[in-house]
Amino acid sequence: MFEAKGFFLVDDNESKLRLVREAAKSACPITVWTKSKAVLFRATISSFDFSKNTFRAEIPKDLSLQKVLSIVESGDGVFLKVDLPSTTILFRTEIFQFSQGNPYLDFKFPKDIYKIQQRKHPRIDVRNDSSIRVFHDDPLQAGRKIRRKVNDISVGGLAVQLFLGEERHYHVGQKLSHFQVQIGSKILICWASIRNIRVVIDGSKPSGLIMGVELQGLDDSKQKQLSNFIDRKMIRQFSSIVDSAEQTDSDPEKKRT
């Protein structure tokens, strides 16, 4: 279930310790969110206490400890996404302790840690998300836009679906001008460069094509919008499959089916 969504279990304790130590040493940024999938705050890991098996997260100055606790102390724990230089990890944990007046929380070392697929930029599956779509100029008809369904997306690029036969109109390295990425009501305008075109096989026959493109020309504001969208989607996907896995583990009937 997890692997199918691009989340891979770190299966030995030494590797888990190394990742959390690295995060603390590098003061890595983290995103904290609740079971309701609402982002609580973004912060940094500042230290790791091996004797207590805990790590510390600094609370942003504009967010009070009381406000954080009023949301976190629901009994369901919290989820964390940690952006290391080498990878991104996600896990569920609980607060170990806190002190009034101090701008930090100490969290328990997690039981399970998941890594995402190693890429330069985290990529998420959006095939079932109707809120995102892309448009680009038709290479055969000036002034006409083609709408594409998006398979997956990252800050650096995305993969869209083509129909069989369309490959004759596109080639690797081709520039797609006036490329539009629509996320809900927001439209990010840039241009894209085709990186690859590959055939989708259904059984023994080709059923379609996937075109991978690299996004170019997004300013800092647009990159942040795209990054925030990807973070939210990743968080929702991870939360949902963790909840589903826990429900299955606690239900003997589901385990047998």
Tokens found for residue 170: 């596109």
CA 189/CA 168 separation, integer angstroms:
25
pTM (two decimals): 0.75
Residues 192 and 215: beta-carbon distance below 8 Å: yes
With tokens 């036969």, the residue in question is 165
Strand order in the sheet with 145-148: 124-125, 150-153, 157-162, 205-216, 186-202, 175-183, 132-137, 145-148
Q: Is the pLDDT of residue 254 over 60?
A: no
Q: Which ranges of 109-167 would DSSP assign to H, the alpha helix?
A: none
Residues 151 and 127: beta-carbon distance below 8 Å: yes
Give 40-79 pLDDT, tens digit per residue. 788 899 999 999 999 999 887 777 777 677 666 655 678 9
Mean pLDDT, the chain, rounded, equals: 86
CA–CA distances in Å: residue 163 to residues 35, 148, 166: 39, 10, 6
